[in-house]
Structure 1
Amino acid sequence: MDDEGKPMRIRYSVVAGVATVVAVAGVASAAPGDTTVTFSVSGGSLAISVPGSAGLGSGLPGNTLSGQLGNVTVTDTRALLTAAWTASVISTSFKTGGGTAAETIPASAVSYWSGTASSTTGLGVFTPGQATAGQAQTLDVSRTAYSLTGGTGNNSATWNPTLVIAIPNSAVNGTYTGTVTHSIA
């Protein structure tokens, strides 16, 4: 009983009301749910693109002729954890007319230097095969043109190599044609 002589029942009723509210709030809340999500990252290919042709102009016997070939681009879309590639280059002899000895400039007289890349994308160490003219190499055997090591994911490199032809004193007048082949592995 309270001071006025009323039963304490009202106080108990309020306490019971609070307990009811708490119980209702506990029922309204739900446990969180987890959803496992999966997806795939697809890998592509390793490719090299080169100019279809290049004209180096003209030169006299006993002189050196040089010119850039145009952009060579390696594109690696394999999405590898450890990406690496090497671009190689080699040349045929250059011939005119019937291709006799006097009408042939051997591949050993053809030098190449890649220079530094004009653009690269992705992660890794991009390394020119021959960064400067002083490092030019003859193309009578396969040479490294450019390489990537320590790469991750997709990447690309573009460079504009220079070809240097040492025209022999015995070369005859004519338009000489040969093939410079870039490959990628």
Structure 2
Amino acid sequence: MNEHEDRSKWPVWAEETIVIEEPTPEWQIKGEEEKKQLLSLLDPFEIIDIEHIGSTSIPSLQAKPIIDIMTKVKDFSRSDEMVAVLSEHDWNYVPPSLDQREWRKYFVKVHNNKRVAHLHIVQEGSERWDEHLQFRNTLRNNPKLVAEYATLKKRLAHEFAGDREAYTEAKSEFIQKVLKRYV
């Protein structure tokens, strides 16, 4: 058993319960603040673009109160340096061996043992970049989809309250349906 499999060594925030909250304009403000700080921190690494994504970026959608930011870089050649810089500013790196998503570098910002933000760093040319933005923009323009997604998220948060991976996986069918049908 390695350190990632031994859950007794995981930080408290790694297994916090999923809670869906009513939307607040503060999420948009926090998204802009995180983007601004990250642009400053990651400037030496040739950031191509940065976006507030995820449910908190959709003004009328209920969500976990965690700001998701996605950043596009040319490549991952300086990822060790990025990890060092970000770790000095409350960003916890989740290695690919634990994250299981080789297409990104993933960080969790923690305050008082609670997640407050996620950072997904992807390489230029990643189809994930386009998919995230297309999904976000489609929901921003379709109140019916927002309502449908909110209902699903609440049900899944109740069903998978203590299992973030299962919760995320269970939402993927809806996300793919939206991408295929509306994009």
| TM bracket (short chain) | under 0.3
Higher relative contact order (CA 8 A, sep 6+): 1
TM-score by length of 2: 0.23
Larger Rg: 1
Name whichever structure is richer in strand by fraction. Answer: 1
TM-score by length of 1: 0.22
Name whichever structure is richer in helix by fraction. Answer: 2
